[in-house]
Structure 1
Amino acid sequence: MNCLNMDKKMHKSVKAGDLLISEPFLQDENFVRSVVLICENNENGSFGLVLNKLSILKLNELIDNISPLECDVYVGGPVEQNTLHFIYKGESLFESSIKLKENLWWGGDFDELLEMLKIGKIKEDNIRFFIGYSGWASGQLEDELAENTWIVCDTADAESVFTASPEELWRIILKNMGGEYQQMANYPIDPRLN
């Protein structure tokens, strides 16, 4: 994996498909030990989904008439938690899907997706649902990067996003990065315990 701790002049390189890994001692309750998939980053701001915060809800508890679908739902972030988003891996299923990485897609026709899930055309293991999202106003993410709040990983693949358990994803990505990041993976949440 090719991951880097961003400095101020490199901020423009954060792009859709990159992962933001929270620094080890971040105390913001929304982002402690989080891994955020960036779906959009432009002059208007940034949009991402937290990959490793499992909610207590299942998809069939959020949407009527889909009783056989008990897919896990993740907390994508603190913004608009009354919205539902999804990513999936594999081939593109919808014209409206946005490619984030090779074999990693964001969004599409939700009704069509539900039908595909019901008939088994797409496996539940290949899709993730999120309530809410992580959003940054124009310049806000750049400021956080300048403060070293995030470590940016630009080469994580679709498989690693979907296979690691939510509890271990943050640590696994840091370990795979090697060097100083490998050490960070073992830091305690409270720096006084280090």
Structure 2
Amino acid sequence: MYFSYIAIENMKDKLDIFRIQTNNVAPEKGRVLIAEPFLPGNYFNRSVILLVAYSEKGAVGFILNKKVDLAIHDIMPGFPDFEGDVYLGGPVATDSIYFIHKLGKKLPGSIHVLGNVWWGGDFEVLKQQIAAGQINTSDVRFFVGYSGWDSGQLERELKEDSWLVNDVDEETVMRELQGDSWVEFVKKVGQRYTMWENFPENPAMN
């Protein structure tokens, strides 16, 4: 059976399962955005995004489940030899590297996100600590680019049922995640969205 994307959009208008009812969970720093099944784009399709900043001025986040098959020293010449995971963080500033970590105030300039998860800090100090063997690969996650929303933009997307908002724990944020981890995050939201798990990523190919 074949589906066109127009048919999918019509189906979404009619089926209640695509009307998100959990967005009484407000977006805030330390929560995740889970893409609805047919959100288009190479970055946001089936993505899970950790919000590291949220205010009336906008939001910043990193995609947690789009891992690339490269180490950080492959991307940045001169970086210490380190096999820490690298992910596509989002479509903004893709010529820059960002990171989250579990180092806390040991890294000057870090911003607390949730639990023992922190965002950014002094990059040169991070490199020095890595070169000295003081940081494990599980302590830090690198991102190429980031995901950003201007004031009111994310709220509009939530009203359009583009994202589920849910809580997340630090262990999940810092462990290795792949594209199919999207299903795991959907399951955590509740049974209402069970059918989301079964829709093909590309309906036209079914």
Distance, in Å, in 2 between the alignment partners of 1:71 and 1:164 is 10
Task: Please tell me whether residue 62 in structure 1 is matched to residue 75 in structure 2.
Answer: yes
Pairwise CA RMSD of aligned residues? Answer: 2.2
Distance, in Å, in 2 between the alignment partners of 1:146 and 1:135 is 17
Query: How far off is 1:51 after superposition?
Result: 0.9
Task: Please tell me whether residue 176 in structure 1 is matched to residue 192 in structure 2.
Answer: no
Could you tell me which of 22, 43, 53 is aligned with 1:5?
22
Match of residue 174 from structure 2: 162
Match of residue 127 from structure 2: 114
Match of residue 7 from structure 2: none
Distance, in Å, in 1 between the alignment partners of 2:41 and 2:79 is 35
Q: Which structure would you say has the larger Rg?
A: 2
Percent same amino acid at aligned positions? Answer: 38
Contact 1:88/1:104, CA 8 A, preserved across alignment:
yes
Question: Does the C-alpha gap of structure 1 residues 63 and 192 become closer, same or farther in structure 2, counting only changes over 3 Å?
Answer: closer
State the one-letter code of the partner of 2:195: Q
Q: Please give the residue correspondences for 1:23-34 in structure 2 after superposition, counting only pairs within 5 Å.
A: 23-34=36-47
Match of residue 150 from structure 1: 163
Distance, in Å, in 2 between the alignment partners of 1:163 and 1:144 is 28
Query: How far off is 1:116 after superposition?
Result: 1.5
Question: Does the C-alpha gap of structure 1 residues 91 and 98 become closer, same or farther in structure 2, counting only changes over 3 Å?
Answer: closer
Distance, in Å, in 2 between the alignment partners of 1:101 and 1:189 is 31
Match of residue 5 from structure 2: none
> Mean Cα displacement is larger for which, 94-103 or 158-167?
158-167
What SS class does the counterpart of residue 97 from structure 2 fall into? strand
Could you tell me which of 185, 188, 191 is aligned with 2:197?
185
Contact 1:24/1:184, CA 8 A, preserved across alignment:
yes
What SS class does the counterpart of residue 125 from structure 1 fall into? helix
Query: How far off is 1:90 after superposition?
Result: 5.7
State the one-letter code of the partner of 2:180: E
> Runs of 5+ in structure 1 lacking a partner?
none
State the one-letter code of the partner of 2:200: P
Contact 1:89/1:158, CA 8 A, preserved across alignment:
no
Contact 1:96/1:107, CA 8 A, preserved across alignment:
yes
Distance, in Å, in 2 between the alignment partners of 1:152 and 1:38 is 10
> Mean Cα displacement is larger for which, 28-37 or 178-187?
178-187
Question: Does the C-alpha gap of structure 1 residues 120 and 186 become closer, same or farther in structure 2, counting only changes over 3 Å?
Answer: farther
> Runs of 5+ in structure 2 lacking a partner?
1-19
Question: Does the C-alpha gap of structure 1 residues 21 and 90 become closer, same or farther in structure 2, counting only changes over 3 Å?
Answer: same
- Equivalenced residues, count: 187
Contact 2:107/2:122, CA 8 A, preserved across alignment:
yes
Query: How far off is 1:67 after superposition?
Result: 4.5
Distance, in Å, in 1 between the alignment partners of 2:55 and 2:99 is 20
Give TM-score, length-normalised by structure 2. Answer: 0.81
Normalized per residue, which structure has more strand? 1
Query: How far off is 1:113 after superposition?
Result: 1.0
